[in-house]
Amino acid sequence: MFTYFWTVTRLRWVLKESIIQKLSVFERKLLRKLFGPTKEANGIWRIKTNKELHELIKHRNIINYVKAQRLSWFGHINRMPETSIIKRTHKWKPFTGKPAGRPTSRWEDDVRNDLKKMKLMKWAEQVQDRPKWKDIVEKAKTLSEL
């Protein structure tokens, strides 16, 4: 329930390292509460390690889930006709000048970086094939490189 609500409201959110760190800590706290402590052979209770939690959830963490949902939305936008309001809004460039300093990180830049990490070079062709793109999105949910 939490995962669905969070991803639906934040699909176009740029994931900064500080946000990723906070989400990971929050997720591990929840998982430790859900799965509880482990009883050792000698009768002593201990909390589960991060590695044990990672194996329990089968390498499907919240960060990879959010990135996979972003890839899914990216594919959806790129399959839309050019006349679609959503696609026109996505491709819109403001007329004003850019502020001085470092350019802000954009959502699309993050998605393209994720595609590079997945070693998808011809994504423009692959995004048009929905079943193939869906497989790519599912694969992204368990990748440790993302």
Residue 26 domain flag: yes
Residue 135 domain flag: yes
In the chain, the amino acid numbered 52 is E
Residue 92 domain flag: no
Against a cut of 0.85, is the pTM above it? no
What percent of the chain lies above the pLDDT cut of 70? Answer: 91
Query: E strands within 1-146?
Result: 38-39, 45-46
| The total number of structural domains that make up the chain | 1
Widest distance between CA atoms in the chain = 69
pLDDT tens string 51-94? 999 899 888 889 999 999 999 999 999 999 999 998 888 888 87
Q: What are phi and psi of 38, to 5 degrees?
A: -110, 135
* Distance of alpha carbon 5 from alpha carbon 16, whole angstroms: 19
* Distance of alpha carbon 119 from alpha carbon 111, whole angstroms: 12
Residue 125 domain flag: yes
State the pLDDT confidence band at 103, using cuts at 50, 70 and 90.
confident
User: Cβ atoms within 10 A of the Cβ of 74, count?
Assistant: 23
Average pLDDT over residues 14-35: 92
What is the dihedral sign for C-alpha 70, 26, 5, 16? negative
Residue 23 domain flag: yes
Q: What is the pLDDT of residue 128?
A: 93
* Distance of alpha carbon 77 from alpha carbon 65, whole angstroms: 18
Residue 63 domain flag: yes
Mean pLDDT of the chain, nearest integer = 86
User: Cβ atoms within 10 A of the Cβ of 108, count?
Assistant: 15
Per-residue pLDDT at 47 exceeds 70: yes
User: Cβ atoms within 10 A of the Cβ of 145, count?
Assistant: 9
Per-residue pLDDT at 30 exceeds 90: yes
Residue 145 domain flag: no
State the pLDDT confidence band at 1, using cuts at 50, 70 and 90.
very low
